[in-house]
Chain A
């Protein structure tokens, strides 16, 4: 019998932005959906987030950014994950993300972008579909 491994998600607040309601609300929703959620807290550097993702053996890293610095921060994270050889981690970006930046983020390799107003169920479904399949492979 195959033992179900819970999907492990790191919800991270990179940089200086202090808006954490969205991050915490999403974290609680994912927890309710049966995932293992680790919240980093505020003011994390990209290196700290990568370290947490490694230590926690994360399947998913969700960045929450409201200050407008999402492009630079996401690009940096994707670069670091690649360098470390762990770019199979599913990266999601949420927050105050203008529509025209969604494509840019996807080009960086971000797996899913969830701007303000996204339904929590959609985020849960997306992760279950993408990371759930990855987990079965493992």
Chain B
């Protein structure tokens, strides 16, 4: 993205490498066939939206990321968010949980309950969702390498609450490939990790039909330095990898493609983002239809959560992030997202305070209720510039996907660190451009104010959480039937060693109150651990 200093002669180039003209007109869109490229909302190729009436019928779901400390504390925050009108939950887990470690593991020290809620056994999950109407909300579990274990725990909770699985709605993030590229919570090597995803999809499509077993995250790839085009291209290559894994198990594309969810990032140039999503919807529909032969239109729809965009926020003059969040929300609505989540203004520093989380929620509610965003579908559709840019973005995404296939496909490119290197080099170039002022950033390289750092309320870290969790673990280990635990864990190990689906065994293991750490240890014994390619 080059700055435009008011000199019309100076070229304007988007982050994705597309040069923008000062004015667009009919000549720029004359080759775009309406039926083929644009069409009607809710119909192939879904450029304008995946539903015919979009927000006119139902506004986007508002779902802030939250969770910290003990399951009890998280339960209280969940209830408060639902009382404030939030319509779904997005659960944050602490790092030990995300990496399959129990709270009493020495490597978990100082991290228990820090960036999310600590989960060791089914009892924690029961507490977290106590008195929450699970069948009336949808729950996103932000968990990746051990998503299968947490899904088993969540399903066990629904069972105990007497809710049939065909009424359970939610998503496990469960996108391991992007973890290797950007978010860093990985445990097992690439191939067995993908196998676990396949097991979950297979299990859910047969038993929990309204659950989305994975959500492909362009978000974290973009946050790690990818351009908007690469964000979409890599996400699609990842989704294709998972689809191929599931197809190997004899499922048909239409059995599960309608439950694939995506998670995208919003920051940067407004028009580039809108065009990215419109192009993405069109291209995804084409891929699922033509490459995988889907018949059901629902399979072809790009369903997404989009909001964002931590990477756009600044630690400098943090209250400016409230304004940025509002613009990102606007972009998200103009882009036809299904679910919206905003990074709160203090998120560059800390876990959002109640106040910051509420401002984010109100920002989305103001947009939905006061500003006319629900009135009509894809209001930017038909704009010369937007349609031209949508088409250019689509071409660029196709090119970037081809580059990954030339590397030997996503699995190989990630195993060898090719994608990681590409993305981190870009992050470095971008940071240099921000530091030189070439990419403008208010409060960072312009309108800088000296020594006015606003004191932000920091989320308190309570080391008692670890003690509480450790005591609980100790108690559970004496109370549970250890023979049942051993038998369940052994069954799991055997299944992991063969091609048998691990999900039924995971359910049995969590219901015996085997700990997350015990389960992960067994899987590590079978699968081994990922060796990170660390070359710069």
A interface with B by C-beta (< 8 Å): 13, 15-21, 24-25, 27-29, 31, 37, 39-43, 45, 67-69, 72-73, 96, 98-99, 115-117, 119-121
Q: Which residues of A contact B431 (CB under 8 A)?
A: 25, 120
CA distance in complex: A55, B115 (Å):
33
* B120 vs chain A, min Cβ distance (A): 15
Q: Are A96 and B349 in contact (CB under 8 A)?
A: yes
Q: Are B95 and A67 in contact (CB under 8 A)?
A: yes
Q: B166 near A: Cβ within 8 Å?
A: no
Known: A39-B534, A98-B458, A120-B431. A21 touches B111 (CB 8 A): no
Q: Are A28 and B111 in contact (CB under 8 A)?
A: no
Q: B206 near A: Cβ within 8 Å?
A: no
Residue of A19, A25, A27, A37 contacting most chain B CB atoms (<10 Å)? A25
* B111 vs chain A, min Cβ distance (A): 5
* A18 vs chain B, min Cβ distance (A): 2
Q: Are A68 and B184 in contact (CB under 8 A)?
A: no
Contact of A67 among B114, B225, B427, B534 (CB under 8 A): B114
Closest to A117 in B: B315
Q: Which of B1-9, B79-87, B102-110, B197-205 contacts A (4 or more CB under 8 A)?
A: B102-110
Q: Which residues of A contact B185 (CB under 8 A)?
A: 16, 18
CA distance in complex: A96, B348 (Å):
8
Q: Are A28 and B428 in contact (CB under 8 A)?
A: yes
CA distance in complex: A41, B224 (Å):
15
Known: A24-B536, A41-B534, A117-B315. A15 touches B110 (CB 8 A): yes
CA distance in complex: A122, B427 (Å):
18
Beta-carbon contacts under 8 Å, B518-534 to A: 532, 534
* A108 vs chain B, min Cβ distance (A): 15
* B497 vs chain A, min Cβ distance (A): 25
Q: Are A119 and B435 in contact (CB under 8 A)?
A: yes
Q: Which residues of A contact B534 (CB under 8 A)?
A: 39-41
Q: Are B111 and A117 in contact (CB under 8 A)?
A: no
Q: Are B424 and A28 in contact (CB under 8 A)?
A: yes
Known: A17-B95, A29-B428. A116 touches B110 (CB 8 A): no
Q: Give chain B's interface residue range (CB within 8 Å of chain A).
A: 35 or more
Q: Are B315 and A116 in contact (CB under 8 A)?
A: yes
Beta-carbon contacts under 8 Å, B181-199 to A: 182-185
Q: B475 near A: Cβ within 8 Å?
A: no
* B146 vs chain A, min Cβ distance (A): 13
CA distance in complex: A117, B435 (Å):
9
Contact of B425 among A15, A28, A41, A45 (CB under 8 A): A28
* A37 vs chain B, min Cβ distance (A): 7
Known: A21-B223, A21-B224, A117-B316. A69 touches B428 (CB 8 A): no
* A100 vs chain B, min Cβ distance (A): 9
CA distance in complex: A69, B108 (Å):
11
Known: A19-B184, A115-B315. A27 touches B95 (CB 8 A): no
Q: Are A45 and B110 in contact (CB under 8 A)?
A: no
Contact of A16 among B108, B224, B348, B428 (CB under 8 A): B108
* B15 vs chain A, min Cβ distance (A): 16
* A105 vs chain B, min Cβ distance (A): 15
* A122 vs chain B, min Cβ distance (A): 10
Q: Which residues of B contact A17 (CB under 8 A)?
A: 95, 184
Q: Are A67 and B453 in contact (CB under 8 A)?
A: no
Q: Are A37 and B111 in contact (CB under 8 A)?
A: no
Contact with A along B115-128 (1 / 0, CB 8 A): 10000000000000
Closest to A15 in B: B111
Q: B444 near A: Cβ within 8 Å?
A: yes
Q: Which residues of B contact A19 (CB under 8 A)?
A: 184
Q: Are A72 and B109 in contact (CB under 8 A)?
A: yes
Q: Which residues of A contact B458 (CB under 8 A)?
A: 98
Q: B179 near A: Cβ within 8 Å?
A: yes
Q: Are B536 and A39 in contact (CB under 8 A)?
A: yes
Q: Which residues of B contact A115 (CB under 8 A)?
A: 315
Q: Are A73 and B427 in contact (CB under 8 A)?
A: no
Q: Are A16 and B435 in contact (CB under 8 A)?
A: no
Known: A29-B428, A37-B536. A121 touches B435 (CB 8 A): yes
Q: Are A67 and B532 in contact (CB under 8 A)?
A: no
Q: Which residues of B contact A28 (CB under 8 A)?
A: 424-425, 428, 536
CA distance in complex: A98, B534 (Å):
28
Closest to A11 in B: B536
Q: Which residues of B contact A21 (CB under 8 A)?
A: 182, 223-225, 424, 427
Closest to A13 in B: B184
Beta-carbon contacts under 8 Å, B274-295 to A: none
Q: Which residues of A contact B224 (CB under 8 A)?
A: 20-21
CA distance in complex: A29, B425 (Å):
10
* A110 vs chain B, min Cβ distance (A): 17
* B466 vs chain A, min Cβ distance (A): 12
